Amino acid sequence: MRRLVPLTVLLLALSACGADHPAGTSASDPTPVTATPSATGELPPGCEPPPDAAEGDSWICVRTGDGGPDAEAANRERLAAQARESPGWSDEDAQRADEERLRQVAEQDDALVASGALPADRGPLLVRTDFSDQGRWDALLTTVDTPTAEGFRPSLSTIEQQRWNGASVSDVAAAAPPHVLVVVADATTFATPALPLLVAEREDDGVQEQRVVARALASVVDDLSTHTKDWEEFAAGADADGVFRGSP
């Protein structure tokens, strides 16, 4: 599984005092922040101390940030910079933290594949169910990751594993937690130049779905995630073939 762009904010406190091998997070593209309680005892939102933190300790909160072609190098540089600013940390500590984070992500992904479930804590998911054309898949990722004229990109966690090869939207929706948006890249997607993806969500009374071209995906994911628009509005705005190509 690899990240396309960041999705939810996932925070994990890393002890910076008395820790020889700091642990990492399960989120990609981390932006580290030093956390020290203020005079009022308040901490940055979502940043909690590690269980073994002592009074006066500082620790590292790692959260997701914007991705990009140089994201991996930027991640390492930010970790290294944070290490240099944090007492007791070195560049090697930052490197180990980054490697541990990636290892934990891989372990979680392997466990999910074995269970046949899709993750509940990574926001909207882009699931590849057709592996017949790597070039078309790469073109899709490029299109989806290209900001719109307004500067929007969909926040998606990419699922790219052979277990889902040939899976139907019903299979994917059944494996996803309720109320998690799932974007399916299937054979129909790659058969058309506009790359129409199938956006679906499992609700209490069934599965909602709408075919959306890749360049219009950002607005659809954002509007559905924030409840700015509902499924009926996108269906009403679709063309005669049932594909939503963006608002006029």
Residue ranges covered by each domain of the chain: 2-115, 125-244
Q: How confident is the model at residue 110 (pLDDT cuts 50, 70, 90)?
A: confident
CB 184 within 8 A of CB 190: no
Those residues with Cβ within 8 angstroms of residue 69's Cβ, 6 or more apart along the chain or in another chain: none
Provide the pLDDT for residue 217: 95
Nearest to 125 by CA among 171, 71, 172: 172
Q: Transcribe 143-212 into DSSP letters.
A: HHHS--TTS-----EEE--GGGTT--HHHHHHHSPTT--EEEE-HHHHTSTT-EEEEEEEETTEEEEEEE
218 vs 126: CA distance, rounded Å: 12
Provide the pLDDT for residue 196: 97
What's 125-244's CATH class? alpha beta
**CB-based burial of residue 42 (10 Å sphere; 0-12 exposed, 13-18 middle, 19+ buried)?**
exposed
Provide the pLDDT for residue 16: 35
| Strand-pair partners of 12 | 62
Instruction: Give the residue with greater pLDDT, 74 vs 119.
Output: 119
**CB-based burial of residue 225 (10 Å sphere; 0-12 exposed, 13-18 middle, 19+ buried)?**
middle
Instruction: Give the residue with greater pLDDT, 241 vs 6.
Output: 241
Instruction: Give the residue with greater pLDDT, 100 vs 222.
Output: 222
Do you know the residue count of the chain? 248
Average pLDDT, the chain: 74
Neighbours of 38 (CB within 10 A): 8
**pLDDT tens-digit map of 35-92:** 444 434 445 455 556 666 665 555 454 444 444 445 666 766 776 676 666 666 677 7
Q: Report whether pLDDT(199) > 60.
A: yes
Those residues with Cβ within 8 angstroms of residue 179's Cβ, 6 or more apart along the chain or in another chain: 201, 202, 203
